[in-house]
């Protein structure tokens, strides 16, 4: 097995938060990617998830105590042999203890006894996440080189919603891969160093009324993968996204919702960019004159008139700066000749086409398969792969055009 995680020793720390159940999926994904995973659970973590689960899925049995008979100094051994430590979830208590340099258990002792990169994935209620003490602790850890995978917004324990929800397992594993890949490439020249790359991601929402909208099945995963890959290759990255997911490590994030707001953001950011990648699935139509009040069945069937949304890719093409590389995406259902026509009509350098009717391809999957069409008649097929691998293939083609 190849890849940035193959053969790597990963210490997976799990602390006492309700999101601990998601650490099971992180563990599985790391192992599936070839990593050697050593789970370290706090005592409070076992109140939420059983240690037998991790022992069964991970590469070694769970470790919990500083006072193991098998190893008199387990934290030193773990810290010195780890390629990376990731803490999922990282509670407010853990972050405070770590920032203060207090060793009150095996996990905090291990993160203090390592020179390996440490990735923390905070998860807590909104009020805790936004508390000044938590934010100051995070700022302290960030200054010291700790990588933070910020939480997203969504449903929280207790039934309410807001920021503080643990990042999704796929995002966490992607961040771990990025850190290890960058560490492997340290000292080597990165082919997008000094370049600014703007990427769009996600499906736009076009309002019918204040509570309803027209959208599509795009998850934004491919766009996020492209942004992370570009950042790992040394670029300054701006991600314009409709999703609520945490932004890729090292990227600036602009949140938008509609095609109109995405057009505004993309045109503004593209003005000074070296590379523009339009990976978002922009709705083709929007309701003309959406209702300002919620529509009701009692009012009868509404007449919804649709109008075209802005052609953002065409607008970007018309305003591109000299030397800028412009990349479009085309999701088709078996009619790939449409993608070839779009390559010409939009006057882009690359058109990345995929057949979203094929199994495991495109919307809301962790995998994708694409054909990268070039303006000079080039054609590169990328078979079913992870979205990160597809992103790397696209960026390889971009680098070729940058010369």
Q: What is the pLDDT of residues 286-326, one digit of tens each?
A: 999 898 889 988 888 888 889 999 999 999 999 999 999 99
Percentage of the chain lying above the pLDDT 90 cut: 64
Question: At the fourth CATH level, which superfamily is domain 9-184?
Answer: Flavin prenyltransferase-like (3.40.50.1950)
Burial class (CB in 10 A: 0-12, 13-18, 19+), 312: buried
- The arithmetic mean of pLDDT across residues 384-398, rounded, is 90
Given this model, what pLDDT does residue 133 score? 95
**Lowest mean pLDDT across 44-48, 214-218, 320-324:** 214-218
- The arithmetic mean of pLDDT across residues 113-118, rounded, is 90
What angle, rounded to 10 degrees, do the helices at 221-232 and 387-402 form? 50
pLDDT of 75 higher than 90 = no
Of the candidates 326, 333, 318, 373, which has an alpha carbon nearest to the alpha carbon of residue 351?
373
Structure tokens at 128: 């805790």
In eight-state DSSP terms, residue 247 is P
pLDDT band at 186 (very low <50, low <70, confident <90, very high): very low
Given this model, what pLDDT does residue 189 score? 47
Given this model, what pLDDT does residue 187 score? 38
**Lowest mean pLDDT across 163-172, 291-300, 324-333, 352-361:** 352-361
**Lowest mean pLDDT across 88-97, 255-264, 291-300:** 291-300
- The arithmetic mean of pLDDT across residues 66-75, rounded, is 75
- The arithmetic mean of pLDDT across residues 195-224, rounded, is 92
Helix (H) or strand (E) holding 13: strand 9-14
Structure tokens at 180: 């290890």
**Lowest mean pLDDT across 109-118, 292-301, 347-356:** 292-301
Helix (H) or strand (E) holding 77: helix 74-81
The answer to whether the peptide bond before residue 43 is cis (omega within 30 degrees of 0) is no
pLDDT of 188 higher than 60 = no
- In angstroms, rounded to a whole number, what is the distance separating the alpha carbons of residues 230 and 358? 27
Given this model, what pLDDT does residue 1 score? 58
Given this model, what pLDDT does residue 7 score? 87
Question: What's the predicted TM-score (pTM) here?
Answer: 0.60
Give the three-class secondary structure for 394: helix
- In angstroms, rounded to a whole number, what is the distance separating the alpha carbons of residues 340 and 364? 24
Q: Which CATH class is domain 196-402?
A: alpha beta
**Under 8 Å between Cβ of 251 and 231:** yes
Torsion of CA 12, 13, 18, 24, to 10 degrees: 20
Stated length of the chain: 403
Residues 326-343 have pLDDT tens digits of 999 998 887 778 899 999
Given this model, what pLDDT does residue 250 score? 67
pLDDT of 366 higher than 90 = no
Given this model, what pLDDT does residue 249 score? 65
pLDDT of 398 higher than 50 = yes
- In angstroms, rounded to a whole number, what is the distance separating the alpha carbons of residues 31 and 2? 13
pLDDT band at 96 (very low <50, low <70, confident <90, very high): very high
pLDDT of 132 higher than 80 = yes
Of the candidates 319, 232, 234, 222, which has an alpha carbon nearest to the alpha carbon of residue 277?
222
Q: Which of 137, 216, 354, 368 is catalytic?
A: 216
What angle, rounded to 10 degrees, do the helices at 169-184 and 221-232 form? 20
**If you count DSSP H runs as helices and E runs as strands, how many of each does the chain have, helices first?**
13, 19
Structure tokens at 133: 């003490």
Give the three-class secondary structure for 336: coil
- In angstroms, rounded to a whole number, what is the distance separating the alpha carbons of residues 169 and 28? 10
Q: Which residue has the tokens 């999703």?
A: 243
Contacts 24+ apart (CB under 8 A), 382-387: 384/360, 386/225, 387/221, 387/222, 387/225
pLDDT band at 115 (very low <50, low <70, confident <90, very high): confident
Structure tokens at 170: 């796929």
Pick the more confident residue, 162 or 171.
171
- In angstroms, rounded to a whole number, what is the distance separating the alpha carbons of residues 286 and 304? 9
Torsion of CA 287, 290, 294, 297, to 10 degrees: -50
Query: How large is the greatest C-alpha to C-alpha distance in the chain, in angstroms?
Result: 74
- In angstroms, rounded to a whole number, what is the distance separating the alpha carbons of residues 336 and 188? 38
In eight-state DSSP terms, residue 281 is B
In eight-state DSSP terms, residue 203 is B
Of the candidates 177, 166, 230, which has an alpha carbon nearest to the alpha carbon of residue 19?
166
Return the CA Rg of the chain: 23
Q: CATH 3.40.50.10300: which residues of the chain?
A: 196-402
Mean per-residue pLDDT of the chain: 90
- In angstroms, rounded to a whole number, what is the distance separating the alpha carbons of residues 202 and 68? 48
Q: Which residues pair with 307 in a beta bridge?
A: 286
Q: CATH 3.40.50.1950: which residues of the chain?
A: 9-184
Structure tokens at 295: 């529509």
Pick the more confident residue, 14 or 3.
14
- The arithmetic mean of pLDDT across residues 17-30, rounded, is 94
- In angstroms, rounded to a whole number, what is the distance separating the alpha carbons of residues 42 and 37? 16
- Can 368 be counted among the known catalytic residues? no
């Amino acid at each position: 097995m190849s890849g940035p995680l193959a053969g790597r020793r990963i210490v997976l720390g799990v602390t006492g938060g309700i999101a601990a159940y998601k650490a099971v999926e992180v563990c599985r994904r790391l192992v599936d990617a070839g990593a050697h995973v050593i789970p370290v659970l706090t005592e409070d973590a076992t109140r939420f998830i059983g240690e037998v689960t991790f022992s069964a899925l991970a590469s070694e049995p769970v470790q919990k105590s500083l006072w193991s008979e098998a190893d008199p100094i387990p934290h030193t051994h773990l810290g010195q042999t780890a390629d990376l430590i990731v803490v999922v979830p990282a509670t407010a208590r853990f972050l405070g203890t770590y920032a203060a340099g207090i060793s009150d258990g095996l996990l905090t002792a291990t993160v203090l006894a390592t020179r390996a990169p440490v990735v923390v994935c905070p998860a807590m209620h909104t009020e805790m996440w936004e508390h000044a003490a938590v934010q100051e602790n995070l700022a302290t850890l960030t200054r010291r080189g700790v990588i933070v995978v910020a939480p997203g917004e969504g449903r929280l324990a207790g039934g309410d919603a807001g920021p503080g929800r643990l990042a999704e397992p796929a995002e966490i594993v992607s961040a771990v891969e990025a850190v290890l890949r960058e560490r492997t490439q340290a000292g080597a020249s990165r082919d997008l160093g000094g370049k600014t790359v703007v990427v769009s991601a996600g499906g736009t929402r076009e309002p019918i009324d204040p509570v309803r909208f027209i959208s599509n099945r795009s998850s934004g995963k491919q766009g996020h993968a492209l942004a992370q890959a570009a950042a790992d290759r040394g670029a300054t990255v701006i991600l314009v996204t409709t999703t609520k997911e945490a932004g890729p490590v090292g990227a600036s994030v602009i949140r938008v919702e509609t095609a109109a707001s995405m057009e505004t953001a993309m045109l503004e950011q593209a003005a000074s960019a070296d590379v523009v990648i339009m990976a978002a699935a922009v709705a083709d139509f929007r309701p003309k004159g959406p209702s300002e009040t919620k529509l009701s069945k009692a009012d009868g069937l509404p007449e919804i008139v649709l109008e075209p949304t802005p052609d953002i890719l065409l607008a970007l093409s018309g305003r591109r700066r000299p030397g800028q590389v412009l990349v479009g995406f085309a999701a088709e259902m078996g009619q790939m000749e449409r993608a070839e026509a779009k390559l010409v009509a939009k006057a882009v350098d690359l058109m990345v086409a995929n057949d979203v009717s094929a199994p495991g391809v495109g919307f809301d999957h962790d995998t994708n398969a694409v054909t990268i069409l070039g303006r000079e008649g080039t054609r590169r097929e990328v078979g079913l792969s992870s979205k990160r691998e597809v992103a790397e293939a696209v960026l390889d083609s971009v680098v070729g055009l940058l010369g």
